[in-house]
Structure 1
């Protein structure tokens, strides 16, 4: 089916580098009475999830008489980031563009405020968590709408059998289906002992120490559990504190029990580690388990997704929300807001969760107990505690609570994992701290 949207041609001509990220989808055709709308959605990992998004957009388009085009954009090789940057520079492209974490703040001046959409969604679905506010809101304005597709917690996915046999921990007992967690004993000390026991048995925890997001997200949750901040909410550099020292001391002990090549891992490595049967635990959303169902069912049936271990300052879980942004140069803002409101309704959110097999996480407090998480398997209920239904842990993002434009640099440069590695590989603690302080001071200047 031919494509004939002038703005898309202009965009491709102006941004050739990012155009390779676009996976064309046919127009969703309405009766055109309310104009046209162009959308860039994240290209979902879970087979069939994109089809659900297309079907919902089609339903809305036919009712509202809008002609809609959809592109599904992969997050591989930072294609979404490149597309956001290119469209912002060209001031042309999609009306609505899906993005993750830092990008609403990075391009805040070019997004149309969406308070009306988000406030209505909150009335229907419940309040959003503080990380969503931190990343999606500035100066009282909602920069983008919290998106269900793609939003995820990167918490522990444990092998039931290996944790029980080698570490003496029954993760199903700690996190039972249909009941609150009984996980007071699941803390950083227990976690470290379990990592040591499983490593000695030949099944190390598969936690990366590289520069990509999975590694950084785990580091962020560990640092926060010790109250360790490199830059505080006021923008002060706070690297040389007892809390940061404690976090690094802990990380050094943990690193000794991780796979020796963990510093070179990318975001696919921990998935492969679990599916291969060599690991007792990884930190990941349910994508690794979903692939294991297909490629290694004997592994999948032993997987249990559950909460993060608690530290001296609380229990934190890495949360990466996605957002739908509406450019202020959009030609059809009214229709765009109407669609975003439709996609934020409870019935739409439930469809997103079901189509993704429980991978997608709504940002809203009332949407954490949908039946999908209680029913999917094997084993049945393996994702019950994935959406944090009992508010058992604080959903956070690495490098917060630093001002987002500073935190984004700490996150992108993997400063947390680099500091931990420098110390673990023999650098003196104070030298590693001085290096981290210098990095953060540089981020403040830029």
Structure 2
């Protein structure tokens, strides 16, 4: 973690002023919010992205005459999660802190409600997707504001040439740049046949079956495409349902065409698989493509990011949002809320997306068609469908719709991928289901 003090100096004339909107007014004291504010943001992996965040915050601070300090907190080694836990225990720390996915619910009792911000932001920027509501609200309480920085979809990134050569699928025709998908034929069975064909061709789909998030997120999207959940929204155990049996049977069958060491993969394995040129498809945000653009441009030029295959219950894609949250023990809640409004303005969001080369995704529906995704390349338009601009798939998170505190345990313990591996390796279906049911019963009791 490193700390960068934000001063009130003037920025260069080329810095574009943020749009001032009426909804910021209730959270300033007179003409200015004033005082001091300490914030913790996610330490972005994209070079230059933190600089852009600092510039946007600094511009707001200069206007509102607030002394702001920023800590950029990395997710490597779970330093961001350790920071959240430490500040919650001490009831002291930053006024505002970025929290990923499950953590606003985990700290819900210590978070300042953002009900006075979110309705106006939604009116301005459009509705947020269901996963943001699932993770960002507790009852009627908004636990924070969905952050652009760090939010991502883990969709398919496909080698155009290899999928066409080995499976006869023109992925660009199914997902044309600048136009709505024509992907009715991109189904679970099409995916399974393509996985088998690419495996036979020596370029298997690089799908992990390990216990880290990339593997769990992918398994979750496949289960949801079959309507399969281990626990329903009411907290009832549903492991031994027909939908779970169908999802498990499908995932175990297709997993035989993944790399032999897929059960041991971590979150870096699929990235390396793509950049090495050994695979025809992975599930990942554009970070793997960005590395390929730098280290293996001939591979990057053949990559296309697009939607998930559709199952019996629809087309789902893993969406992992970050949130900006204000602690209930914050010393300057008015300034923190004023800053959250400023960070959620379209002009600010556009800067964040451009600085991350399209990696970051805003959660508001009106902000998913920015020019960055249409223009990034090579090949040009490779990220056009990444932010789901045509709403052709449901953005979800593994283990939902179980109550978040239960779903977090299913997710963290990688129950879904463990089920797939056990059944793929020959364990009878009913024995695998019995094991999973026992595991989840423990989560429910806890």
**TM-score category of the 2 structures, normalised to the smaller one:** over 0.9
Offset, 1:315: 0.3
In the other structure, the counterpart of 1:262 is 262
Structure 2 residue 380 is matched with structure 1 residue 380: yes
- Count of aligned residue pairs for this structure pair: 425
- Paired with 1:73 and 1:263, the residues of 2 have a C-alpha distance of 30
TM-score by length of 2: 0.94
Deviations 1:77-131 (A, max 9, x none): 2111111111000001111100110001000000000112222211110000110
Distance 1:262 1:63, change over 3 A: same
Structure 2 residue 256 is matched with structure 1 residue 228: no
- Paired with 1:127 and 1:251, the residues of 2 have a C-alpha distance of 33
TM-score by length of 1: 0.94
Deviations 1:378-425 (A, max 9, x none): 000000000101100000000000000000000000000001111111
Structure 2 residue 444 is matched with structure 1 residue 444: yes
Q: Structure 1: 5+ residue runs without aligned partners?
A: 1-21
- Paired with 1:108 and 1:402, the residues of 2 have a C-alpha distance of 17
Structure 2 residue 15 is matched with structure 1 residue 36: no
Partner secondary structure for residue 116 of structure 1: coil
- Paired with 1:241 and 1:179, the residues of 2 have a C-alpha distance of 38
Q: Are 2:212 and 2:414, in contact at CA under 8 Å, matched by a contact in 1?
A: yes
Q: Are 1:124 and 1:346, in contact at CA under 8 Å, matched by a contact in 2?
A: no
Partner secondary structure for residue 230 of structure 2: coil
1:354-393 to 2 correspondence within 5 Å?
Answer: 354-393=354-393
- Paired with 1:210 and 1:33, the residues of 2 have a C-alpha distance of 47
In the other structure, the counterpart of 1:92 is 92
1:267-306 to 2 correspondence within 5 Å?
Answer: 267-306=267-306
In the other structure, the counterpart of 1:349 is 349
- Paired with 2:118 and 2:33, the residues of 1 have a C-alpha distance of 26
In the other structure, the counterpart of 1:26 is 5
- Paired with 1:271 and 1:143, the residues of 2 have a C-alpha distance of 33
In the other structure, the counterpart of 1:314 is 314
Distance 1:33 1:183, change over 3 A: closer
Deviations 1:212-250 (A, max 9, x none): 000000000000000101000000000001110111111
Offset, 1:27: 3.3
- Paired with 2:2 and 2:116, the residues of 1 have a C-alpha distance of 31
- Paired with 1:33 and 1:357, the residues of 2 have a C-alpha distance of 32
In the other structure, the counterpart of 1:69 is 69
Distance 1:388 1:325, change over 3 A: same
In the other structure, the counterpart of 1:45 is 45
Q: Are 1:30 and 1:66, in contact at CA under 8 Å, matched by a contact in 2?
A: no
Offset, 1:28: 3.4
- Paired with 1:117 and 1:341, the residues of 2 have a C-alpha distance of 7
- Paired with 2:215 and 2:7, the residues of 1 have a C-alpha distance of 38
In the other structure, the counterpart of 1:119 is 119
- Paired with 2:139 and 2:191, the residues of 1 have a C-alpha distance of 39
- Paired with 2:139 and 2:198, the residues of 1 have a C-alpha distance of 47
Partner secondary structure for residue 236 of structure 2: coil
In the other structure, the counterpart of 1:139 is 139
* RMSD value, Cα: 1.1
- Paired with 1:425 and 1:414, the residues of 2 have a C-alpha distance of 17
Q: Are 2:6 and 2:58, in contact at CA under 8 Å, matched by a contact in 1?
A: no
- Paired with 1:259 and 1:24, the residues of 2 have a C-alpha distance of 42
Q: Are 2:146 and 2:322, in contact at CA under 8 Å, matched by a contact in 1?
A: yes
